Structure 1
Amino acid sequence: MPRTIQAFFDTDTGTISYVLHDGLHAAIIDPVLDYDPASGHTSTRMADQIIDYVNQEKLAVQWLLETHAHADHLSAAAYLKSRLGGQIAIGEHILQVQEIFKKLYNLDREFLPNGSQFDRLLKEGETIDIGTLSAKILWVPGHTPADLAFQVDDVVFVGDTLFMPDVGTARADFPGGSAQSLYRSIRKLLALPENTVLMHCHDYPPEGRDPLWACTVAEQRAQNIHVHDGVSEAEFIAMREARDATLAPPRLILPSLQVNIRAGQLPPAEDNGTRYLKIPLNTL
C-alpha cells in the first residue's frame, strides 16, 4: 500500500508533528499539547487536528512515537492514546533523561525513572511495523542522550537533531547533551543515500521564508550552515558550544520536561484535586 505523510505545523512552538500511514494503519510522531504558561491552561487544539485527520482517513493508530523528551512543547501522546489507542514509544535511553529530571524536580517516590510510563522502549537497529510499513530505529544522541530517528525506506524523521539547512542544528547543552555526540549522529544521518528525505521536528524560518520541514541528505551536506561537508568535528564542537552558551533556555523547558518524561501524562492531582507543574528556581 502507498506511504502517506501528513504534517501538522504548530506556529506557537515551531513544531512539526506527523501522521505516517499506509492507508489503514498509522503512527503519530511528536504530537503537541498546547500550553499557555501565563494562565497554566492546557488545550488540545493541535492534537484535535490530528484526531480529525485520523478519523477522516479511517486510520487505526498503532504507535505514538516520540523522537525524544522535548524541551520546547508538552507531548500530547497520552491524550491521543486515550482517544485513538496505540502504544507510546521512545528510545531506551529515556531512563537517563528521567533520572536527571527526577532530581531536578525532586519528584516524589511514585515517579520511577525506569521507562515504565511508556508502552515500549526502542533500541538502535530494531524495527517496528506500521501496517505494511517498516520503521527502523536509529539512535542519534547529542541534543539529548535519548534522541531517535525513524527511517521508513527513503524517508527519515530526524527529530531535533537537524533543522533546515538555513537554520542549522540542534543545541547540545541540555543535561546529558553532547556536541561531539551530536556531530557524530548528524554524520550518521548524512551518510545515508543523498536522495534520502529528512523530515524535521522544528522549523524557525528566517524572515521572508515560509515554514519548511523536509529536505534531502544532499541538500544538508551542501548547504547546512553548521555542518555542511567539510566542517570537522572539532570545528563543529567549538561552534556549537560557543553558540549554545549564548542561548536562553527554551520558553517551555521547565513545564514540558516534567510532562514529557511521564509519556505526556500530567502530574497527578494533589489532595485538593488540582494538578501542579513545578518550577525549580535558579537551576537552569
Structure 2
Amino acid sequence: MSTPIVKPFWDQATGSWQYVFHDPVTMKGAIIDPVLDFDPLAGATATTNAERLLAYVRSEGIEIVWILDTHPHADHFSAAPWLKKKLSAPTGIGERVTGVQSLWQEIYNLPKDFPTNGTQWDHLFKDGERFMVGEVPVTVMFSPGHTLASITYVAGDAAFVHDTLMMPDSGSSRADFPGGDSKALYSSIQAILALPEETRIFVGHDYAPKGRAAACEATVAEHKAANIHFCEAPSEAAYRAVRDARDATLPLPKLMLAALQVNIRGGRVPEPEDNGQSYLKLPLNYFHSRNDC
C-alpha cells in the first residue's frame, strides 16, 4: 500500500481541517476541502487559508493535479475556485452533489435555470471510481449520511473521511442536515472501518474537547478500539438512537445558510446583481422549529 505524505492545515475559526497530500516519488499532489475565509459580521471573504496551502505547495515543489471537495460544506466556504485559478488544476466532488443542489435550490428559491447538474466542478466522481495522483492510487467511496452527497477519498493508506467520523474521543458527525440520515451514516462508517486497520483516517473537523490540542488523524484500528460511538460495535439501531438524540440538541452551524448557497455553486459567490454587487440571502424562519428556543 502506498503512503502519501499528508500535510494538514487547521482553521480554528470553523474547526475545519484542510489537507494537501502528495506522492513523494513524483511530487504530484491534491488539495482536499480548502477553506475560503468568511467574516459574517462584515460579509467579507478572504483567502488567508487558501494562501497558506498555496505557499506550502510552492515551497515543497508539489504539482497539484486535483482540488477536491468531499461534499458541499455547511460550516465554511470552499476555496476550490480560487486555488484552481492559481494552480490550473481541475476541481472534483461526488456525483450526488446534484441532489444537494436541487434540495438547496428549493430552500433558497433560486431561479429555475440555476444549474443543478454539477457543472460548477470539472469532474463528478462516481462511487468506486479510481484515479491516480502520481503513483498513489485514489479510490472514491460514496459515504452519505452527513449529507446525501458525501464521499471519502482513499489515497493509498490515507482515507479522507470528511464529516463521517470525528476523532475517537468525539465519535461521529451529525446527520440532521437537509438530506442527512443517521442510517446512511452508520452504513458509511461501517464501510470505512472495514478498511485495513493501518489505514490513516483524516477527519474533516475537530472541536478539541476538554481543552486538548486540535487533532486530525487516527488509524482504523484506533477508531475500532476507542471511538466513543463505535468501540462497542453498536447495532444500527443503537447507534442511531445515540446519534439522533445528540443531533436533536445541536444548533445549526453558524455559517450554514451562507455557506450552502456558495458551495452549491462550487465555492463561488452568487452572480452580481445589476449594481455589480453580490448578495447572500437567508430563508427566514425555514429552520425556525430547530431554533425557536
Aligned equivalent of 2:67: 64
Aligned equivalent of 1:137: 140
Decide whether aligned partners of structure 1 residues 265 and 154 sit closer, same or farther in structure 2, where only a CA change above 3 A counts: same
**Separation in structure 2 between the aligned mates of residue 130 and residue 267 of structure 1, nearest angstrom:** 32
**Separation in structure 2 between the aligned mates of residue 203 and residue 110 of structure 1, nearest angstrom:** 37
Following TM superposition, the consecutive aligned residue runs of length 4 or more in structure 1 with deviations greater than 6 angstroms are none
Aligned equivalent of 1:15: 16
Match runs of 1:1-284 below 5 Å: 3-23=4-24, 24-284=27-287
SS at match of 2:210: coil
Residues 94-146 of structure 1 deviation map (CA, whole Å, 9 limit, x = unaligned): 01100000011111244211111111000111112112221100111100011
| 1:36 CA drift (Å) | 0.6
Decide whether aligned partners of structure 1 residues 186 and 254 sit closer, same or farther in structure 2, where only a CA change above 3 A counts: same
When the two chains are superposed, the root-mean-square deviation of aligned CA atoms in Å is 1.2
Decide whether aligned partners of structure 1 residues 223 and 82 sit closer, same or farther in structure 2, where only a CA change above 3 A counts: same
SS at match of 1:268: coil
**Separation in structure 2 between the aligned mates of residue 236 and residue 251 of structure 1, nearest angstrom:** 26
The TM-score, its normalising length taken from structure 1, stands at: 0.97
SS at match of 2:106: helix
| 1:210 CA drift (Å) | 0.3
**Separation in structure 2 between the aligned mates of residue 245 and residue 153 of structure 1, nearest angstrom:** 37
**Separation in structure 1 between the aligned mates of residue 59 and residue 65 of structure 2, nearest angstrom:** 16
The count of residues paired between Structure 1 and Structure 2 equals: 284
Identity of paired residues, percent?
48
Q: Which range is displaced more, 157-166 or 129-138?
A: 129-138
| 1:2 CA drift (Å) | 6.8
**Separation in structure 1 between the aligned mates of residue 28 and residue 273 of structure 2, nearest angstrom:** 38
SS at match of 1:242: helix
| 1:207 CA drift (Å) | 2.3
SS at match of 2:173: coil
Q: Which range is displaced more, 101-110 or 262-271?
A: 101-110
Residues 11-65 of structure 1 deviation map (CA, whole Å, 9 limit, x = unaligned): 0011110111124212100000000111101000000001101111222221111
Residues 197-243 of structure 1 deviation map (CA, whole Å, 9 limit, x = unaligned): 10111111112310100001111111111222321110111111111
The TM-score, its normalising length taken from structure 2, stands at: 0.94
**Separation in structure 2 between the aligned mates of residue 147 and residue 86 of structure 1, nearest angstrom:** 21
SS at match of 2:6: strand
Structure 1 stretches lacking a partner, 5+ long: none
